[in-house]
């Protein structure tokens, strides 16, 4: 427990990157019921909200400009549903997250939408992904360790169920652009949970092992 508190305090010192958010919370949140860590958490929440708002505006704006809004919406939704259960690597800066999101959600769906992939190839690929997700999901991060074993089990089972649904859609659904984007988004999710990806980006894998609480 003590180790967990020290880790949280250290994280709080570096978590706020947008200065005016920190200044706003420091000047406006004056309630004595909030200690320093609570104020930093509020500022962090505001920062995440602001970053996500900016990212959404940029992504939707670019998608509209390129005539690919429907592709982007399918990409965002299919990625988010599976990612909700698998977790996986996150970018460590807001700018990198924005750039990667533009590529994943706007550019790559447009590039692959007209490619034809045969039924057998789709089946083999998606069944392989089911086994990978069963083996490695959920993959936590340093900032969000999945300490509780029961939570990890629930996330794994739900991730596998979603992956099976995606597999069936990839084999039987139409049109082809929808299937391509669905497979592409699952590919990105699978890459983000692989131990080799964590190793390449020098991130710690199985972060829950740092904690004693396994209940």
Write the pLDDT tens digit of every residue in 131-173. Answer: 999 999 999 988 888 989 999 999 999 999 999 999 999 999 9
Cα–Cα distance, 142 to 14 (Å, whole number)? 14
Mean pLDDT of 12-19: 47
Q: What is the pLDDT of residue 4?
A: 46
* Residue pLDDT, tens place only, 58-101: 999 999 999 999 999 999 999 999 999 999 998 888 788 899 99
Please give the distance of CA 30 from its chain centroid, rounded to a whole number: 33
Cα–Cα distance, 40 to 19 (Å, whole number)? 12
Q: What is the pLDDT of residue 47?
A: 72
SS3 percent helix, strand, coil of the chain, rounded to 5, is 75, 0, 25
* Residue pLDDT, tens place only, 17-48: 545 445 555 555 545 555 566 766 676 677 77
Which has the minimum average pLDDT: 15-19, 121-125, 206-210? 15-19
Q: How many residues does the chain have?
A: 215
Among 56, 76, 82, 197, smallest CA distance to 138 is for 82
Cα–Cα distance, 156 to 159 (Å, whole number)? 5
């Amino acid at each position: 427990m003590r180790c967990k508190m020290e880790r949280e305090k250290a994280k709080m010192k570096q978590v706020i990157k947008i200065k005016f958010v920190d200044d706003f919370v420091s000047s406006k949140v004056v309630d004595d019921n909030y200690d320093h860590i609570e104020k930093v958490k509020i500022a962090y929440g505001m920062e995440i909200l602001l970053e996500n708002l900016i990212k959404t505006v940029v992504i939707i704006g670019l998608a509209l400009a390129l005539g690919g809004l429907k592709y982007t919406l399918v990409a965002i939704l299919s990625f988010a549903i599976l990612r909700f259960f698998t977790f996986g690597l996150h970018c460590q800066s807001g700018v990198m997250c924005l750039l990667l999101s533009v590529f994943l959600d706007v550019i790559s769906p447009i590039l692959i939408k007209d490619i034809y992939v045969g039924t057998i190839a789709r089946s083999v690929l998606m069944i392989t992904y089911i086994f990978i997700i069963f083996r490695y999901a959920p993959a936590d991060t340093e900032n969000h360790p999945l300490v509780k074993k029961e939570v990890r089990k629930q996330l794994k089972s739900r991730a596998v169920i979603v992956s099976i649904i995606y597999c069936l859609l990839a084999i039987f659904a139409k049109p082809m652009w929808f299937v391509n984007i669905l497979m592409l988004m699952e590919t990105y999710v699978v890459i983000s949970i692989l131990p080799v990806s964590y190793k390449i980006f020098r991130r710690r894998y199985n972060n829950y092992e740092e904690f004693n609480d396994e209940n």
